[in-house]
Amino acid sequence: MLRSSTRLLSTRLIQRPVVVSSRSQSTLDTGKVLDDPQIGDYPNLPQYSAQSRGPFGWWDPQDKRNFGEDVHEEDELYGVWAPDLHTYSPYKALAQLALAASVLAGVAGIIYKTHPESPAVKRTYPYDGLKKSLGYRDGDVRPRGARPDDAE
């Protein structure tokens, strides 16, 4: 029974198409006008994100809109509060991330190699870490005493 169910599972996994690429969370800024039969007499505006507009010269500088200007039907997708426009490729973002990681690793390596040793002498305790003076007994769950040199 186990073999047949495993075979069934493996054939279902093989038949499933593999998605090689996926669209990240971004706003489309194509400028196309899509035909919408349910829009009625409302103006059918092009797909332009308000983030691509300039920062100055607007009646409403927060939303980058003039007074009386028509709002896009899908303003939640094309307004300034929509997901950001990504103007760089994922490869450039990956290269920047790798550069930041290598700089961080390089600085950490330089600090590790050039860090001086401690000028102080390590502590030493007589009588096996003062176990007898601090009341050590055989069979204690947690041994009493200072740290001996080998336990650091």
| Residue pointed to by tokens 């860090």 | 115
pLDDT classification of 152: cutoffs 50, 70, 90? very low
Task: Enumerate long-range contacts of 76-80, CB under 8 Å, 24 or more apart.
Answer: 77/27, 77/28, 78/27, 78/47, 78/48, 78/49, 78/50, 79/50, 80/50, 80/51
Q: Does residue 133 carry a pLDDT above 70?
A: yes
- Please write the tens of the pLDDT for every residue from 53-107: 888 888 888 888 899 988 888 888 888 888 888 778 889 999 999 999 999 999 9
| Residue with more model confidence, 45 or 127 | 45
The answer to pTM > 0.85 is: no
- Please write the tens of the pLDDT for every residue from 95-127: 999 999 999 999 999 999 999 988 888 877 777
pLDDT of residue 51: 84
Mean pLDDT of the chain: 78
Q: Does residue 130 carry a pLDDT above 70?
A: yes
CA 18-22-24 angle, to 5 degrees, is 160
> Which of 5-9, 68-72, 134-138 holds the top average pLDDT?
68-72
Q: Cβ(78)–Cβ(72) under 8 Å?
A: yes
